[in-house]
Amino acid sequence: MSEKESAMNRATDRTAPATELDTRFSSPGAEAVPWSRAEELLTAAELFWISTVRPDGRPHVTPLIGLWYEGALHFTTGELERKALNLAANPEVVLTTGANAWAEGTDLVVEGTAARITDTARLRDLAKAFEEKYGAVWHFEVRDDAYFHGGGGAAMVFAVAPRVAFGFAKGEPFGQTRWRFS
């Protein structure tokens, strides 16, 4: 099975991940965050940060909007944007979201392989979901295996099914949860 097929299978696999609290980085009395709570936070998050690797090995990090949909994080990028060029050379990514506060909220880190979505029906479903979440300013037209928005060029759509994810509960008790996906 190719890496792309494996990533897509993880995106549609509804099996709950293995969940563990890392006591080395957790306060006494902390409990693991249930994956269902992490999914709620991923669904509600308005902003994500994506980390990719340039072909020369240097990191690249940029904010973007994202959509938790059917077991995967989805995002868009223009064909000539730095993150798209990076993904062409190395599809491994890290997406993060959370609150910019030390002692409140839960930060999430999702590691996985970005797989391009080209199926027209799925692109339409995702376009509708993006618009429902972010409003009409993020209305996408679907054609030629991509999104078109306003006067801009084509935007590719990617899905990242988690391979592993981390949750950092902030405030007392602090806790670090790891979710491993099969």
What whole-number distance in Å separates Cα of residue 10 and Cα of residue 4?
10
Q: Which CATH number fits domain 3-117+155-180: 1.10.1200.10, 3.40.50.1000, 3.90.1150.10, 2.30.110.10?
A: 2.30.110.10
Whether residue 31 is predicted with pLDDT greater than 90 in this model: the reply is yes
Q: Where are the chain's structural domains?
A: 3-117+155-180
- Whether 134 and 121 have beta carbons less than 8 Å apart is answered as no
In the chain, what percentage of residues exceed pLDDT 90? 87
Report the mean per-residue pLDDT for the chain.
Answer: 92
Q: What does pTM read for this prediction?
A: 0.89
Residue 110: alpha-carbon gap to chain centroid: 6
Average pLDDT over every residue of 165-171: 96
What letter represents residue 152's amino acid?
G
What whole-number distance in Å separates Cα of residue 146 and Cα of residue 154?
6
Give per-residue pLDDT as tens, 73-131. Answer: 999 999 999 999 999 999 999 999 999 899 999 999 999 999 999 999 999 999 999 99
Say what the pLDDT of residue 51 is.
98
